[in-house]
Amino acid sequence: MNKPLRRIAIFCGLLVLALLVRDNYLQYVQANALRTDPNNRRVAIERYASPRGDIIVDGNPITGSVEAKSGDFKYKRTYKNGPMWAPVTGYSSQAFGATQLEKLDDGILTGNDDRLFFRNTLDMITGKQKQGGNVVTTLNAAAQKAAYNGLKGQGGKGAVVALEPSTGKILALASYPSYDPSSFAGNTTDKDAKAWNSLQKKNNPADPMLNRALRETYPPGSTFKVVTAAAALENGKYTSADQPTDSPLPYVMPGTRTELKNEGNIPCKNATMRVALQFSCNTVFGKIGADLGNDKMLAEAKKFGFDSEQFTPVRSNASVFSDNMNQSQTALSSIGQYNTAATPLQMAMVASAVANDGKLMKPYMVDTLQSSNLDPIEKTQPEELSRPLSPQNAQILQSMMETVVKDGTGKNAQLGGGITVGGKTGTAQHGVANSANPYAWFISYAKLPDGSSPVAVAVVVEDEQANRDDISGGGLAAPIAKSVMEAVISSKK
């Protein structure tokens, strides 16, 4: 072979080698990335080629699938009582993707999770159509209905979270206003796109797609006084609910000439912590926070979960208790104002830890992941998150919260039948110079005659249209919490 031919042969050989290397690289190295690339339409077609598995509540599906009437996506998602369950399920849309459980557990629901390989192989051998697995939640249908209907009946905006204190199971997770994920589950421009656009905040100031239970932080107002009371007990500032506190009236915040005011003429001078919580004395708990200082208050708040995101597995925003505050700022923060902000989930965690004798359990909403034939794939085990209180101090704080409901501002949450309720109201100021209507809060727990506590609840209500003087945690939020607690207790009978 002459020299020019040899060079051409070598060059052609190198081209063939490069082609083989590239082909093998695509087939073996990049195969999975290409297969799952969202820009690969085959991925979407395959995703909607078979019915999705279901999200389950109390043994019943709250989702479904129907055959699409047109297009190359065979099935689309449906939802039962979509607005009520949207804060739990999120959405799965052919056009707009997925969120929350629909996204986080997409592999199980579509049947593509590696843990379903054996099940899928058997189905392929037997000729059975591929099916997705199920996501079994911890939610209680009756509690969720009570929470959602309570918010809807109240009007305005708001959220409810209910937990099982002994395990951390989420029993209710409601947000209002809400949306129906079925309305944009397809891929049409005339129906689905219009429905989607109508729900966006820029087109709908009520922001119905905001999950207020997990993603909105509010000033918690006087409900935060439960955390301040816990800090006082845990740091030994006071050792009893009935020990008089060092609380002058008027109380001028340290480093300022500003008096910290109470709401009305209430017995707050040197009041015991029980009386101070019963009447919601700003002066008592503000001074406790200032005396303890920022570091001790921050440490206690963090034990309850503040300053950390929570994963339920859906992510919840971190609640806030600030660092590097002076005494007067710490005083205001210790009554749930200044920079202090909390999600409804966070305040349900506070009530839950007190009810569970000081043990805070990690909140979660997925109990079990199942294959299509209902075999369990993964089960969530309860997990202790922290211990904000000793059992002794938790019981002291329980007695204080129970006084609030029996003789104080939380009377609207009382239950009969030998059931004891502990709670704390809150009316949180916000807006420039506190010009906006306050938020109405209530946190509580129910205790059965045997001493067990099946439920802890947090409720927040935003009502921009209400008469300012009519807004209170005891008036607006406590009745909703009562109905949720009743629903949980009735479902256990």
Asked if 472 is an active-site residue, the reply is: no
User: How far apart are the C-alpha atoms of 194 and 276, rounded to whole Å?
Assistant: 52
As a whole number of angstroms, the distance between CA 444 and CA 351 comes to 6
Residue with tokens 């079925």: 182
| Torsion angles phi and psi, residue 458, rounded to 5 | -130, 135
Closest CA to 177 of 259, 87, 263: 87
Count CB-CB contacts under 10 A for residue 436. 13
Q: What is the 3-state secondary structure (H, E, C) of the chain?
A: CCHHHHHHHHHHHHHHHHHHHHHHHHHHHCHHHHHHCCCCHHHHHHHCCCCCCCEEECCEECEEEEECCCCCCCEEEEECCHHHHHHHHCCEECCCEECHHHHHCHHHHHCCCHHHHHHHHHHHHHCCCCCCCEEEECCCHHHHHHHHHHHHHHCCEEEEEEECCCCCEEEEEEEECCCCHHHHCCCCCCCHHHHHHHHCCCCCCCCCCCCCCCCCCECCHHHHHHHHHHHHHHCCCCCCCCCECCCCCCEECCCCCCEECCCCCCCCCCCEHHHHHHHCCHHHHHHHHHHHCHHHHHHHHHHCCCCCCEECCCEECCCECCCCCCHHHHHHHCCCCCCCEECHHHHHHHHHHHHCCCCEECCECEEEEECCCCCEEEECCCCEEECCCCHHHHHHHHHHHHHHHHHCCCHHHCCCCCCEEEEEEEEECCCHHHCCCCEEEEEEEEECCCCCCCEEEEEEEECCCCCHHHCCHHHHHHHHHHHHHHHHHHHCC
Of 92, 222, 280, 483, the active-site residue reads 222
- The amino acid that residue 347 corresponds to is M
Q: Phi/psi class of residue 47: alpha, beta or left (left: φ > 0; alpha: ψ in -120 to 50)? A: alpha
Report yes or no: 75 and 288 within 8 Å, Cβ to Cβ: no
User: Where do we find the tokens 């820009």?
Assistant: 39
Strand partners, 78: 64
Active site members: 222
